[in-house]
Amino acid sequence: GMAGLGQAICLAEAETGINALILAAICAHESGWGTSRLAREKGNLAGLGAYDGAEYSCGIAFDSRAASVMFLADLLATKYCPGGCYFGGSFDLTGVGVRYASDPAWARKVAGCMRVIVEVAHVIH
């Protein structure tokens, strides 16, 4: 479900400074590795606009999966950073999770996706 996104994720990092591994992990976690209905039908890999109980109906529709990655990167770089309107006290997964997700274990789960991505990358190389 996330195949072919490497270029978009790397471009988003280059344009915003948000780490590509973090972007990939948020997308992996939020979309069930690209398999969620929101990801498949609306191109929304990051659960953007999806609220508890109305994930699909409120989720933002994107023209492409790459567009959702760039939107996420821009959002993190401008709204979740220090001084941003969604700043959660730190500019790391824990701080982002304060306002990004209702799940108190969100940061830990995204970090778990990061570990999987890194482990797979080591196996491939």
Query: pLDDT tens, 48-100?
Result: 999 999 999 999 999 999 999 999 999 999 999 999 999 999 999 999 999 99
* Token duo for residue 32: 């069930």
pTM confidence score: 0.95
In SS3 terms, 12-59 reads as HHHHHCCCHHHHHHHHHHHHCCCCCHHHHHHCCCCCCCCECCEHHHHC
Other C-beta atoms within 10 Å of 118: how many? 12
Would you say residue 5 has pLDDT above 70? yes
Residue 125 pLDDT: 63
Q: What is the pLDDT of residues 13-58, one digit of tens each?
A: 999 999 999 999 999 999 999 999 999 999 999 999 999 999 999 9
* Token duo for residue 68: 């959702």
Would you say residue 121 has pLDDT above 90? no
pLDDT band at 122 (very low <50, low <70, confident <90, very high): confident
Residue 124 pLDDT: 75
* Non-local CB neighbours of 81 within 8 Å, separated by 6+ positions: 87, 91
Whether residue 12 contacts residue 5, with contact meaning beta carbons closer than 8 Å, is answered with: no
